[in-house]
Structure 1
Amino acid sequence: MSTPTEQLAAAGVSIWLDDLSRERIATGNLQGLIVQRNVSGVTTNPTIFAGALAKGEAYQDQVNALAASGATVDSAIFEITTDDVQAASDIFRPVYDATGGVDGRVSIEVSPDVAHDTEVTISDAKKLWAKVDRPNALIKIPATKAGLPAITEVIGAGISVNVTLIFSLERHAAVIDAYLSGLEKAQAAGIDLSTIHSVASFFVSRVDTEVDKRLTAIGTDAAISLKSAAGIANARLAFELYEAEFATPRAKALLAAGANAQRPLWASTGVKDPALPDTLYVTELVTAGTVNTMPEKTLEATYDHGEIAGDTITNNYADAHGVFDQLASVGVDFNDVTQVLEDEGVEKFIVSWHELQESVKTALSGAAEGNR
């Protein structure tokens, strides 16, 4: 009998872990997840690194050395996080090689403080790519309005990108356009397009959290009946959009020249509502050519009791459109929902980034005292 995670991988879904720490790397836990849970990549964000640093023990020697060298807080964060991403990339290198560069990917995010600054995002992305210096890294850039031209520029330089914090179909379309524009720049510069990979991270559970709050406030039977439906419907329509955009003459010409499609990635797949099945955002978003990045709790739930029933996306487009028609009819302003979520998403990562800075500042100060 194959496990649910084996079945999910066999259905063409790449399973990535939404977590990373030096302890995972050093203990062999990460390698174990590749073998035992079919994990084929890792995503990180400022919240994940803040949590890893807070537990701290595995970082102490490096923190001591950085303190002794007089490192600033931001330069210490740069060294610590890129070291983890380098090590994880090396662990995933056999997966990268076996899949022709499709999987075995490890993501690291530009500072969320610059999410609304195009030029600094470009500069930070290039610095991270050069420092990590692994072909299987992905540089995470948020899909803010300022992030879109940065995506084009960074892809155009031959750097692989994970576009994060996508909530709306309109922004997803703009992200695909930015990616294709970047590929065209790279092609004009003579860069081998086959070496550039990208995923578009479409957030799921956060959509339900915000929409369900509004449906509860509306309070009608019609509104209540739509709870927990928006996130999955939105993601399914994102895949429909992806299929349409990569079937255009423009995209086909780039694919024929060796380019890779920008795969949809389902993010925020941990269930927030305890009344819902804990594998909901995995089992209802299955189709070939997608990525699902899961917190460990969701990964373990999927391995333990996930019921993988083949493709649950491409035969459900009509239902997904129906959900959005009904949301509009009961008075949910989805454009407002997605703008609120983008603003909150950036703000949450900024808060986590500042927590990370504070953790490192405290650790450096403590190490400096100890070094005296």
Structure 2
Amino acid sequence: MTQNANTQALSDAGVSIWLDDLNRPMVTGDELSKLVETNNVVGVTSNPTIFATALSDGSAYNEQVAELAAAGQGVDEAVFAITTKDVMAACDILRPVYDATNGEDGRVSIEVDPRMARDTEGTVTMAKQLWETIGRENCMIKIPATVEGLPAISAVLAEGISVNVTLIFSLDRYRGVMNAFLTGLEQARENGKDLSKIRSVASFFVSRVDTEFDARLDAVGTDEAKALKSKAGIANARLAYQAFEEVFSTPRWQTLADDGAHVQRPLWASTGVKDPSLPDTLYVTELAAPNTVNTMPPKTLAALADHGTVEGDRITGTHDEAKATMDALEHAGVSYADVVDKLETEGLDKFEKSWEELLGSVRSELEKAGENK
């Protein structure tokens, strides 16, 4: 099949397109395969909300739920079994992409229970359990970039496990994530692991940054403040890319690269626009740059394929402008530190609520299966 011209243009700009969606029908039918063949999709990220919706919509999970109920499995065990089965299937579908890209893409991400986000040891234990259960080297384990998550990231990488670091909002935390990545690779080398097999991405959130900044700019209410609306998210991400280029040109990194290591690519997450007045492909086309990943919800991917205009690299050479934008936001009275702190707190809360929603959906389905025995 022929790839869509717009998605191909984004890929040609050095961006890997990952789909932020995963459910049983996608992997038992041909939906995911078709997106690989026609929309340049080379990876998948999953989240609890998507799983919860899929569970309560249709009958795709009925057979497995009935088996789990008959076996007396608890809710947590059932969630683990259901989600890992979907990830295994998606990994198998994407394995040819993994092989063709030498492991760079063809990746499927699954997250550690977000209730572990403040528990370093618990995160490490569950990450290992997920990795061993899925048993696919093109899997990635998602770990939140909390303060407690940073040492967990290093410890998991040190075991040779590929990691998708998620929930990054601030530039300081992003630098901490990159340091944790380098530390993890150094430990992996000491442990005799093959560095060329370990991959990582750092998921830097975009649209949520604009949502919070714009609400505060509206509250300020001046013409100066209103003129800055919908500029923070892209400027913040572009400065993150500058940090990425700096860190991965250091002697410390080069030593690891000489031993076969691959860079930890920035991944633009939360790229569906929240403000309907904005172009629906804004956070895709304006963040195109080499060595990046953009994980898109289906609606955003469809918009890109239909009418997205990709103009190549939109980040290189924009760092001064991005810095000026962030300085102007501070001058307008909006505190960057306060915004990113709030976003991390809210992000963790949303993750936990999504997980509780998933647990509730599974609990309900197990109860139904028990009643129908």
Q: Calculate the TM-score normalised by the size of structure 1.
A: 0.99
- The equivalent of 2:312 in structure 1 is 310
Q: What is the CA-CA distance between 1:25 and the residue it aligns to?
A: 1.1
Question: Does the aligned pair in 1 maintain the 2:97–2:105 contact within 8 Å?
Answer: yes
- The equivalent of 1:256 in structure 2 is 258
After superposition, residues 220-299 of structure 1 pair within 5 angstroms as: 220-299=222-301
- SS of structure 2 residue aligned to 1:311: coil
Match for 2:27 among 10, 13, 25? 25
Task: Give the letter for the 1:260 counterpart.
Answer: H
What is the aligned-residue RMSD (CA, Å)?
Answer: 0.9
Q: Deviations over 1:263-283 (max 9, x none)?
A: 000000000000000000000
- The equivalent of 2:217 in structure 1 is 215
- The equivalent of 1:326 in structure 2 is 328
Match for 1:112 among 101, 111, 114? 114
2:192 paired with 1:190? yes
- Aligned equivalents of 2:352, 2:52: Cα separation in 1: 11
- The equivalent of 1:4 in structure 2 is 6
- Aligned equivalents of 1:150, 1:343: Cα separation in 2: 19
- Aligned equivalents of 1:51, 1:324: Cα separation in 2: 37
Q: Deviations over 1:60-114 (max 9, x none)?
A: 0000000000000000000000000000000000000000000000000000111
Q: What is the CA-CA distance between 1:241 and the residue it aligns to?
A: 0.1
Match for 1:63 among 62, 65, 77? 65
- Aligned equivalents of 1:52, 1:174: Cα separation in 2: 35
Q: What is the CA-CA distance between 1:54 and the residue it aligns to?
A: 2.0
After superposition, residues 75-90 of structure 1 pair within 5 angstroms as: 75-90=77-92
Q: What is the CA-CA distance between 1:256 and the residue it aligns to?
A: 1.1
- SS of structure 1 residue aligned to 2:357: helix
- Aligned equivalents of 1:106, 1:350: Cα separation in 2: 21
Task: Give the letter for the 2:23 counterpart.
Answer: S
Q: Calculate the TM-score normalised by the size of structure 2.
A: 0.98
- Aligned equivalents of 1:336, 1:132: Cα separation in 2: 39
Task: Give the letter for the 1:348 counterpart.
Answer: K
Question: Does the aligned pair in 1 maintain the 2:4–2:305 contact within 8 Å?
Answer: no
Task: Give the letter for the 1:180 counterpart.
Answer: L
- The equivalent of 2:348 in structure 1 is 346
Match for 1:162 among 161, 164, 168? 164
Q: What is the CA-CA distance between 1:56 and the residue it aligns to?
A: 4.3
> Which stretch has the larger CA shift, 98-107 or 316-325?
316-325
- The equivalent of 1:98 in structure 2 is 100
- Aligned equivalents of 1:151, 1:298: Cα separation in 2: 29
- Aligned equivalents of 1:116, 1:279: Cα separation in 2: 34
Task: Give the letter for the 2:305 counterpart.
Answer: Y
Q: Deviations over 1:259-307 (max 9, x none)?
A: 0100000000000000000000000000111000000000000001100
- The equivalent of 1:369 in structure 2 is 371
Q: Deviations over 1:173-192 (max 9, x none)?
A: 00000000000000001111
Q: Percent identity?
A: 59
- The equivalent of 2:16 in structure 1 is 14
What is the total number of aligned residue pairs between the two structures?
371
- SS of structure 2 residue aligned to 1:237: helix
- The equivalent of 1:124 in structure 2 is 126
Question: Does the aligned pair in 1 maintain the 2:4–2:38 contact within 8 Å?
Answer: no
Q: What is the CA-CA distance between 1:253 and the residue it aligns to?
A: 0.6
- Aligned equivalents of 1:167, 1:207: Cα separation in 2: 7
Q: What is the CA-CA distance between 1:357 and the residue it aligns to?
A: 0.6
Task: Give the letter for the 1:23 counterpart.
Answer: P
Regions of 4+ moved over 2 Å: none
- Aligned equivalents of 1:179, 1:302: Cα separation in 2: 31
- Aligned equivalents of 2:287, 2:117: Cα separation in 1: 28
Mind listing any 5+ residue stretches in structure 1 that lack a counterpart?
none
- SS of structure 2 residue aligned to 1:57: coil
- Aligned equivalents of 2:164, 2:319: Cα separation in 1: 25
Q: Deviations over 1:304-360 (max 9, x none)?
A: 110000100012111101101101111111111011001111100101111111111
- Aligned equivalents of 1:343, 1:26: Cα separation in 2: 36
Q: What is the CA-CA distance between 1:2 and the residue it aligns to?
A: 6.1
- Aligned equivalents of 2:349, 2:65: Cα separation in 1: 27
- The equivalent of 1:335 in structure 2 is 337
